[in-house]
Structure 1
Amino acid sequence: MKSTSIISWVRRQKKVHSKVNTSSTMRVGIVHTAGSPCGCAEAVAGGLAALGHATLIVDSEEILLRSEELAATCDLVIDHTDTFLGWGVLRPFVRGELERWGARVVGSSTQACFLADDKIAAKGSLSAAGVPTPPGAAITEVTAELPLWLQPPLILKPACEHMSRGVTLAKTREEARVAIGVLLESYCQPVLVETFIPGRELAVSVLESPEGLEVLPVLEWLSDDNEYRILTAAFKLQENGAAREDAHRIILSSVQRHELESLSRKAFRALGLRDYARFDVRLSPEGRFYFLEANTTPSLETGEALAFSARWAGLDYVHLVKRLLEVAQRRYCADSRTNKTVIANY
């Protein structure tokens, strides 16, 4: 006798996979945070229009009201939520609502987003997979003592925020102690304290393809801070276009390129990501790569890292958007074929 849970699962799968659109024209939902400085929604909408697709743009703050509509009326949904209810830590909740209603989301699953957005949990998964990360510790109380092996300069980050919100450089242990108190009070979440890694700041974008994971040409950020080269929130909020001068393509040796591509693929799989992602990586003066963060929703603006790297790989912006749609469409079609076989058995 079939269990109720299995029957419910079958019904959900029928609902989701019966809507996979294999035609050339689609309706694509775009979820963004209205008022956010990110211009992803406008850029993606332009790319979709150039491809002949219709769009439905929804504010992430309305997700509880609009998820069912997005799932029912859109062939795919691109979720680029910045914050939900004012918090970056809650942005995976938006994706969870979309998936709960059966929306076909471009990008990583809710579970993977929660993992990747939690810098402490992600750090553990990456380290366990053999992907190097800076030495660090998680602090949850103002009175907690920093380990003696954690020596300044140090980088402090709220565990589950992004866009460099709250990122602080501490040059002494006393500065670190004060900053920990401020961050704990301001963000109400653990603080990740890591050894500052000097060197070059890289953005490594990864796209799925029929041939496997493709690591795009690597971008290096050029900061005015020549000593520390930290990408602050102010740096990321600058108005930049496709001709920006603070980013360029880094040329690595064949050995370094092979190592970075291998580590990036390993990191992508260790976090259970899908479709596309970007990793923030430091290249130390000794030539060692350290993975700092994973971003499941890297900026899709035309003047940001993913678009630059895609261009260097031969994909203009419109074809980058097309590629993202195709990889998600291919995944859902494959899931549909698999689940039809499973459903037929019940």
Structure 2
Amino acid sequence: MPEAVISAVDLRKSYRVKGKPDLVAVDGLSFEVAPGESFGLLGPNGAGKSTTMKMVGAVSTRSSGQLQILGLDPDRHGPDIRSRLGVVPQQDNLDAELNARENLFIYGRYFGLPARVCHRKADELLAFAQLEEKARSKVDQLSGGMKRRLTIARALVNDPRILLLDEPTTGLDPQARHVLWDRLFRLKEQGTTLVLTTHYMDEAEQLCDRLIVVDEGRIMAEGSPSELIRRHSTREVLEVRFGSERNQQVAPRLEGAGERVEVLPDRILVYTHDGERALERITAEGLTPVTSLVRRSSLEDVFLRLTGRSLIE
């Protein structure tokens, strides 16, 4: 097995709060990321994802535990590590006074790259991001999806070994998200290691080879998307709606229709290996849902099982 590019053992981060016990943001995380892997961190707001990303990005020191990035300790070799990373923040922080090409050129100069190299890379990255026609456009003239692609392109100026992406497609429409996914797939095919946080379960299933589900600073589960679904859910899920006023009342009568029943405000989820058969069993009991849907299990079902709440809070 190739040596891990990221290795964390019992990683912890806490903050002092005057007059109160220390706030523990990361509570003993242990994980490894292999070269060329696409690795995801999933969890609700406040779970410790962004804090972990900051420690991996060598911009926040750890409280205890071990952390190695590309074989180096980020607390002692921060500048060296940061020079080999690409970072895509949650909010685009492009320079609005510059056009798209200038944003790439100037960022390359920050890394000490020669001007001729920055010119070449700017052209290459504009092509990669499908923004050649917008090279002379100011940032404010770009759509949300274009700005996001430009931010990712900028993060690639220094040929990073690892690309850190914090919620890369938040706020984008479906078409823009799929274009961005395609660009990230291409990076992965080129051997770039991707580490991302996301609130979108379909995005995690599409992009991640492996992921961890984090809650309250601790790992709740780890594995590939398909492994987690097999381990923590059933093959299918039956969604039935009886009306928001009746769902809670009807739910006890659905026990036994599947392996597990989950009551949400707007619907009831019946976890089963045969959704159609579960629906037949429910209607045989004289219950007629307003709507019904049989679908395959997803990572969102895994998250509900592990934390009992939706990812988007």
TM-score (norm 1): 0.23
Greater Rg, structure 1 or structure 2? 2
Query: Which has the larger helix fraction?
Result: 1
